[in-house]
Every structure is written in structure tokens, then in C-alpha cells.
Structure 1
């Protein structure tokens, strides 16, 4: 019984730790993309900005001293594959088509979702609008693609898990 009570006391601390750990891992994974995108960088807190900058500087220094300095001149960037690359093709970007688990505290109606159409003739993926929009009831978990709910997440209307 005592063990059960002590576990219940530490559950909020544990959940907070798991959430922060996951969030820090996301910043660490996409730090170069975040630092190169003003919109994303401005959403971070002061501490998160410090962490992203410090982490990227440490990784840059480590890679430059250990590997990049030994490569030919055109291949010494951690952001681009070659010196002639016009974009940062070595920077991982979040996949907005990934599915996420989420819920809302409020009723949200008429969220228009898209369906991936793999049968098109162009060879790539296209999206078609689903006939029925999604309605989200408060405190009900949903499993949806991130892209259609992105603006609601940014506005704080939908929470990710």
C-alpha cells in the first residue's frame, strides 16, 4: 500500500520528466532546422533557444574537429552535401505527414482532413479532401496526420501526446 501511494505521488513528476525528455529529444533531432526557421525558433522559450544553440555549436565543433576537417574543401559543411548545393539538404526536417496522438480540451468541428491518393499517374503522392470533416470532442484521443491539425496545435487548441 505504501509503495502504491508513493508511486502515485511521483506520477506527475514522472510524466513531466517524460514529456520534457521527449521535447528535448525533438529539439535535439531538428536543431538545425529550428535554428534556420525563424517561425520555429521564435516559438522556443529562452532556455530552449539556449539548448538548441549550444547543442548545435557542440555538434558542429565535434564534427569539424573529428571528420569534416579531413574531407576535401567542397565537402566540409554539416548543412549541405557539397559546396554547390543550394539548400540545406543534410538537415533533417520534421515529417508533417506523420500520424500523431492528440486530444483537445474544447469541441473543434469541421477540421478538414486529407487522404493520400497513391493511385495518381504522376508517380508521387497527392492528397484528396475527405468528404466528411473531423469533429473533435473534448478529452477524446485521436490518431491523425499532423499537417491538418498543425494550426490548432500552434494555437494551443490541440495537445499532442
Structure 2
């Protein structure tokens, strides 16, 4: 077997394992999103997702370089061509594409939930601002604004 094909096979195995680990983190994140108030788990999932995303980017770059050495284009067309010409890569290529699709769907679903939470929080904050008559309870960094409600308006009776 061609040494580059063997390297590609090993790279694909590593990538499939990493994507599966990434999926596990996404599933944990989805669970944390359904358990209101578990901000620690969400913070941990963000750190883990970023770590796996960095690792996946490195492995994907390696895969792209190996595909190029074999004369194939990058991404899915290259994987398809490599799998067609090297039967030992077929199951790995198929698994990678399926797992990548699963990860993408989970990540998009979690993103929708997170954006919904953010929108609800913004609406609640806007409502509180309206109730107390202050337009800036918190500054851009999330710190309490030192200006008191109504301090910018001076009324003179009489």
C-alpha cells in the first residue's frame, strides 16, 4: 500500500475519533441547555468545543495535504475520489462525512437554543430598563452603570 494512502487512512481514523468526541461534547451541551441554570456545564462545553475545533482544524489541514499529495482535490470531492480509488478508505470517508453532518446539525440546533435564550434575556433586560426608567443599567462590559435613574434630568418646580 502506498505510504501516503496509509497516512491518509491514519489521519481519517484520527479525524473520525475527534469528530465523535466533538459530537459527545455537543450532546452534553444540548443536555446542559435543557437543564436551566447549568452555566458551569455550558462554560465547560465551550472550552471543550474550542479545543476540539482547534484539533479538528489541524487534522483537516493534514488530510487536505495528504489528498493533494495523492492528486485529489480537497474536502468532499477529494474524499469521494480517494474512497473510490482506495477501497480501504471507503468506510472511514463515509463515517467522517456522516459524523461531520451529525456534528453540524447538533451545533446548529444548540446555536438556535442559545440564540433563543439570548433573545429572551435581552427582552427581560429591556423590560427591566423600561420599568426603572433607565436606558443603561449595565455598561457594555456587563458592569452596573453608576448613573442613577433620572440623574440626567433636572426638574425645577415652581
Normalised by the length of structure 2, the TM-score is 0.25
**RCO (CA 8 Å, sep 6+): is it higher in 1 or 2?**
2
Whichever structure has more helix as a proportion of its residues is 2
What is the TM-score with the length of structure 1 in the denominator? 0.24
Pick the structure with more strand per residue: 1
